[in-house]
Structure 1
Amino acid sequence: MLEQLLRVLEPQAVGEDSFVGENMHPKGFRIYGGQVLAQAVSAAQQTVAEERPIHSQHAYFLRPGDCSKPVTYEVERARDGGSFSSRRVVALQEGKPILVSSMSFQLADDSFDFQPEFPEGITPPEDLPSERERALEHNVLNEDFMITDGEDLDVRMGTPINWREPEQMPGRLYNWMRTTAPVGDDPTLHRSLLTYFSDTMLLDAGLIQHGRSYWDRSLQVASLDHAIWYHGDFRADNWLLHTADLERNSGGRTLVRGRFFTHEGRHVATVMQQGLMRKN
């Protein structure tokens, strides 16, 4: 399964600045948004000099993706400046865009450094069960759409939640994530894996504030837009702490901030996601 994920996260060139990616869950009910975000990053990075890693991605989800069809990524080389490169990527299925994304890449610069403190009260991953273990224990494993409970990622929720019968709690969640095996030293791959990780748990923070779940058929829930800022190097095959803090629920939307820290406490990425969260 991990080998499949690594293959999926590297879309293949099929022409000048055009790439095609396969799907991680071909029998799923829709393409997982983190997959499209990560494939877009990988496609764009293939058109940028290696010494210019990505530092930000801003994306809008336009349509649900069809898991039975491949995704085409068209990359526009917007600009290559003295230290920054800009790219625009459109993800398409059957000629229709399902995601548009703008990205910026930058030469390394160590002018200043500051970061927030590592969150307090965090249970270490060694003391938590994995989501796969919990899914198998409660017989709720969905073999066709395994994002947090598959054999490719080891995901451990700080506060395990029964999403079929959720209880109201503050919109502040966290989990630990890493791949289930080493994945080599390519920093581009590690950034793509974090991007894949980044679409998990965020909408959940907005939902749990009201004791609701994505299983609730009286609600419409979907990602609308997603932004990531990458602050430094990390390894996705080592533990990463992902925190999700609800900013605001209003207007049929939820806005949540995510942060990624290494096990040693370095803040390596920040995420913001706005999602649809409204009553039918």
Structure 2
Amino acid sequence: MLQQLLDILTLEPSGDDGFVGEIMHPKGFRVYGGQVLAQALEAAQSTVDIDRAVHSQHAYFLREGKTDRPIHYQVERARDGGSFNSRRVVASQDDRTILVSSMSFQRPDDSFDFQESVPEVPAPEDLPSERERAKTDGIFDEDFMITTGEDIDVRMVHPIQWANPEQRRGQLFNWMKTTGPMPDDPALHRNVLAYFSDTMLLDAGLIQHGRSYWDRGLQIASLDHAIWFHADCRTDEWLLHSADLERNSGGRTLVSGRFYSREGVHVATVMQQGLMRKR
């Protein structure tokens, strides 16, 4: 449910610059990385003046998160400058670090503006949602609903048959938004964008070889992640997400992504490296 997503993005203060976050999918086999990214961003944002918006987040996933216990976030105030604020966040469970993330915040600046044009793809209204496809194909998993839940609506321009994928170019286009309206707080929409950003990236590396995350003969996991925020957006309105494979090598895949608003504004860029190797 969308309210559940909004609830887990509301952290409980715990000591000096410490916060506690609950789990979005407590019956899942592991914590979804996008949740940890979004909660870490919320923890850092809570220590920065409201007029400073995040412009970059870099993170390393160090351990798999457990779904039966909350996550603790400790914020380090690395620097507070005239234009920029830097924060480092450590996410842990049982004193074991699962993620470290560095973030930079900036006061508004409109010095220059340029972007490439948005790709031309079918409209989201003409495409089935991943939730609909999962139910139709009989592969709906109620315990770990990342792209098939009731909180976000994901629609693939060129759907992957997850159980029997065909080999094709490592490029994907997907529409994403929340399933209902959200408050107007721009910081909340940036948190949700961070939540979105961990989806449909490694899949571009896998489909290049005709494989999917369903393949039990592979080890697949996010290793490191970066997102650059270029402009504010609403995550309760359609965003086009592109994912382009850069390189597969050394048991890893590197994929770049972009988010565009329905009006064609390039609002964020993502890079992710993931583990992708044979067991």
Range of TM-score over shorter length: over 0.9
Mapping of residues 48-67 of structure 1, within 5 Å: 48-67=48-67
Letter in 2 for 1:43: A
Alpha-carbon distance in 2 for matches of 1:136, 1:212: 21
Which residue of the partner structure matches residue 275 of structure 2?
276
**1:205-241 C-alpha deviation (Å, 9 max, x unpaired):** 0000000111111111110000000000100000000
Alpha-carbon distance in 2 for matches of 1:56, 1:86: 10
Distance apart, 1:10 and its partner CA: 2.0
* Secondary structure class of the residue paired with 2:41: helix
Q: Does 1:18 align with 2:11?
A: no
Letter in 1 for 2:177: R
Which residue of the partner structure matches residue 224 of structure 1?
223
* Larger displacement relative to structure 2 (139-148 or 8-17): 8-17
Alpha-carbon distance in 2 for matches of 1:195, 1:10: 15
Alpha-carbon distance in 2 for matches of 1:116, 1:198: 20
* Secondary structure class of the residue paired with 2:194: helix
CA contact (8 A) 1:157 1:175 kept: yes
Q: Does 1:8 align with 2:5?
A: no
Mapping of residues 92-241 of structure 1, within 5 Å: 92-120=92-120, 122-241=121-240
Which residue of the partner structure matches residue 71 of structure 1?
71
Which residue of the partner structure matches residue 28 of structure 2?
28
Alpha-carbon distance in 1 for matches of 2:213, 2:232: 33
**1:50-87 C-alpha deviation (Å, 9 max, x unpaired):** 00010000000000000111000000000000010000
Distance apart, 1:108 and its partner CA: 0.4
* Secondary structure class of the residue paired with 1:206: helix
Distance apart, 1:159 and its partner CA: 0.8
* Secondary structure class of the residue paired with 2:14: strand
* Secondary structure class of the residue paired with 2:241: strand
Normalised TM-score (structure 1): 0.99
Letter in 2 for 1:72: H
Which residue of the partner structure matches residue 255 of structure 1?
254
Alpha-carbon distance in 2 for matches of 1:217, 1:211: 14
Alpha-carbon distance in 2 for matches of 1:180, 1:217: 31
How many correspondences in the alignment?
279
Distance apart, 1:275 and its partner CA: 0.4
**1:85-108 C-alpha deviation (Å, 9 max, x unpaired):** 000000000001000000000000
Alpha-carbon distance in 1 for matches of 2:10, 2:203: 28
Which residue of the partner structure matches residue 267 of structure 1?
266
Q: List structure 1 runs of 4+ shifted beyond 4 angstroms.
A: none
Normalised TM-score (structure 2): 0.99
Letter in 2 for 1:82: G
**1:192-211 C-alpha deviation (Å, 9 max, x unpaired):** 00100000000000000000
Alpha-carbon distance in 2 for matches of 1:77, 1:47: 8
**1:93-133 C-alpha deviation (Å, 9 max, x unpaired):** 0001000000000000000000111013x111010011111
* Secondary structure class of the residue paired with 2:143: coil
Alpha-carbon distance in 1 for matches of 2:151, 2:35: 13
CA contact (8 A) 1:10 1:43 kept: no
Alpha-carbon distance in 2 for matches of 1:164, 1:138: 10
Letter in 2 for 1:98: I
Letter in 2 for 1:51: D
Unaligned segments of structure 2, at least 5 residues: none
Alpha-carbon distance in 2 for matches of 1:134, 1:244: 20
Which residue of the partner structure matches residue 81 of structure 1?
81
**1:163-204 C-alpha deviation (Å, 9 max, x unpaired):** 111110100001101111110100011000010000000000
Alpha-carbon distance in 2 for matches of 1:271, 1:9: 21
Alpha-carbon distance in 2 for matches of 1:262, 1:228: 16
Identity of matched residues, %: 71
CA contact (8 A) 1:152 1:180 kept: yes
* Secondary structure class of the residue paired with 2:184: coil
* Secondary structure class of the residue paired with 2:60: strand
Alpha-carbon distance in 2 for matches of 1:16, 1:123: 48
Alpha-carbon distance in 1 for matches of 2:12, 2:43: 8
For the aligned residue pairs, the C-alpha RMSD in angstroms reads 0.6
